[in-house]
């Protein structure tokens, strides 16, 4: 990992250019665009919260607490969905871009980093939705929420 940082500093412009191109391409292909990044986790949370709280009648301590079951569920799903998307996209990126690697001299170590950075965009949008939802339910904001970007970077 430490030997990757000096290589990455020399290829920073390439990584930024590739990231911008992939962000634009991924949201232009989808009809809903960037809105899908916000709606997809919300659909999952609504579905899971309906199934677990209504159909299966799962009772947790979160239902007795200050927040709803959906916030409890979404706070766990944010980390899971981010990790799942980052790992799956990093594993598939070399196979998806094999023509770029075969036909030209291209640093292959940039591609997994780019795919993980792309998944960070979706994670940030999901975290913003979660914070808005928690702020709506609790009617207040906390200073500890400012530590969230530091935790996400780790």
Confidence of residue 66 (pLDDT cuts 50, 70, 90): low
Burial class of residue 130, CB neighbours in 10 A (0-12, 13-18, 19+): buried
Q: Is 30 helix (H, G, I), strand (E, B) or coil?
A: coil
Rounded mean pLDDT, 92-120: 84
Q: For the whole model, what pTM was predicted?
A: 0.72
- Residue 46, both tokens: 């609504």
Apex CA 96: angle with CA 9 and CA 82, to 5°? 65
| Residue bearing the bigger pLDDT, 153 or 35 | 35
Task: Indicate the range of 10-24, 35-49, 84-98 predicted with least confidence.
Answer: 35-49
CA distance 98 to 83: 24
Q: Is 106 helix (H, G, I), strand (E, B) or coil?
A: coil
């Amino acid at each position: 990992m430490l030997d990757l940082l000096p290589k990455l500093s020399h290829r920073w412009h390439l990584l930024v250019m590739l990231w911008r191109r992939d962000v634009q391409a991924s949201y232009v292909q989808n009809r809903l665009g960037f809105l899908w990044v916000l709606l997809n986790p919300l659909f999952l949370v609504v579905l899971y919260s309906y199934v677990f709280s209504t159909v299966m009648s799962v009772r947790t301590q979160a239902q007795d607490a200050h927040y709803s079951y959906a916030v409890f569920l979404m706070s766990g799903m944010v980390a899971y969905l981010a990790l799942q998307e980052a790992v799956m996209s990093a594993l598939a990126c070399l196979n998806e871009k094999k023509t770029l690697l075969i036909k030209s001299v291209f640093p292959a170590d940039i591609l997994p980093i780019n795919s993980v950075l792309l998944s960070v965009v979706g994670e940030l949008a999901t975290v913003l939705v979660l914070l808005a939802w928690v702020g709506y339910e609790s009617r207040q904001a906390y200073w500890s929420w400012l530590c969230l970007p530091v935790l996400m970077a780790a």
